[in-house]
Structure 1
């Protein structure tokens, strides 16, 4: 079941710097959760030893935020543990992936 957008509230926005900061927080958080990091690496095809290089490539942060956006339990866990509101994670994902990509709220 796809959650509905709230038409009375405009989507949150972030600056490019804030989007980068959120993505770095996601990466740090994933590194502390071996099962999720393994799943992320398996889904992206990135080797753990190459993560630092991959993080500098275009599209990496979009894939990282997309990983959360495509699995609500992981998104909610990150939000709760990091204190980053879901709306800001969604805005960071929009920044990296473009409007309309992976937006489920």
Structure 2
């Protein structure tokens, strides 16, 4: 798996954050799971570590990441490739 460039990864993660904010059912789950506040969503939208946490959250459930990919017209592997380019991406172990 080839990671995306850092800039491309951040752009994809910002799109994922925007999608998440627009999802009234999933946003409360994200806020509860991460401890983030609505203010954090605005203040940290360009923070690579925060964006990585958005992708980590969405990647926990195939239905969530599939819904995002379909809405943004991304291939299913793009979020994982983006996650690999963000801080801590090399440390992710899915086994």
Q: 1:99 aligns with which of 84, 90, 94?
A: 90
Change in 2 beyond 3 A, CA 1:58/1:15:
closer
In structure 2, the residue matched to 1:37 is 27
Q: What's the Cα RMSD here?
A: 1.8
How do residues 4-19 of structure 1 correspond to structure 2 at under 5 angstroms?
11-19=1-9
- Total equivalences in the alignment: 94
Contact 2:14/2:45 (CA < 8 Å) preserved in 1? no
Q: CA offset at residue 52 of structure 1? A: 1.4
In structure 2, the residue matched to 1:66 is 56
Question: What is the TM-score normalised by the length of structure 2?
Answer: 0.86
Distance 2:70 2:15 in 1: 13
Question: What is the TM-score normalised by the length of structure 1?
Answer: 0.78
Larger Rg belongs to: 1
SS in 2 for 1:99: helix
Structure 1: segments with no counterpart, 5+ residues = 1-10
In structure 2, the residue matched to 1:26 is 16
**Runs in 1 of length 4+ with deviation above 6 angstroms?**
none
How do residues 53-92 of structure 1 correspond to structure 2 at under 5 angstroms?
53-92=43-82
Per-residue deviation, residues 29-67 of structure 1 (Å, max 9, x unmatched): 111111111111111111112321233445101101101
